[in-house]
Chains A and B, each alone.
Chain A
């Protein structure tokens, strides 16, 4: 059973537009949530990690929120660039140590067009 659901599956935006990616999960416990960017054929690069019950983070044009009560997270990308074209993956960790498990979403494929 999929414990991390991401939406939309894919998204096309024009360069300069903003977009929002969603992540809903049922993982328990939910120690932390991390967003990764995966360029085609490349590894996963961490964008941000959220830890608190209601958390917000900001990393340049990327900002994210987490609501553990709702088991929901969003990733906002502001003023998209062509280089933002990638798959964005939501990952929930059930512990704060490597003894825990990571639960991966299938990703949202973002395509930024000129």
Chain B
């Protein structure tokens, strides 16, 4: 079954810490996305990718880097985490049409 798996499920880090969120999809989809979800807001796009080695900037990219190492794997990097990055992060994949498959999310707390 097609799936998007995120890890870790939960993460706590200190301000200034270094965090990597992982996402793996087994859908053979070309497109992968990182979103953040905050109370009172819809999901907001951080970075996305059209394929291995490709990276596109989303709507709220500040403070985040991303890397697409393979078609399956998309990583979100926070090199100097700040409390404002406390959020629920979702990864998604798409074959290139209007269908999207979302992961279960990673809850990040920056203290």
Contact B41 A106 (CB under 8 A): yes
- Quick one: which of A56-98 are within 8 Å of B by CB? 89, 91, 93, 95-98
Contact B102 A43 (CB under 8 A): yes
A103 to B40, CA, bound (A): 14
CB distance from B30 to the nearest CB of A (A): 8
CB distance from B5 to the nearest CB of A (A): 10
B contact face: mostly helix, strand, loop, or mixed? loop
CB distance from A80 to the nearest CB of B (A): 23
CB distance from B90 to the nearest CB of A (A): 6
A102 to B59, CA, bound (A): 11
Counting chain A CB atoms within 10 Å of each CB, which of B90, B95, B100 scores highest?
B100
A113 to B62, CA, bound (A): 41
Q: Does B84 contact A (CB under 8 A)?
A: no
Q: Does A21 contact B (CB under 8 A)?
A: no
Contact B105 A102 (CB under 8 A): no
Q: Tell me whether A105 and B107 are in contact in the complex, defined as CB-CB below 8 angstroms, given that A32-B98, A43-B102, A96-B98 are known contacts.
A: no
B interface residues, Cβ below 8 angstroms from A: 4, 30-31, 40-45, 59, 90, 94-100, 102-105, 107
- With A42-B105, A98-B95, A101-B45 given, name 17 new contacts (CB 8 A): A31-B98, A34-B98, A41-B105, A41-B107, A42-B104, A43-B4, A44-B102, A89-B42, A89-B43, A95-B98, A97-B98, A98-B30, A102-B43, A102-B100, A104-B44, A106-B42, A107-B42
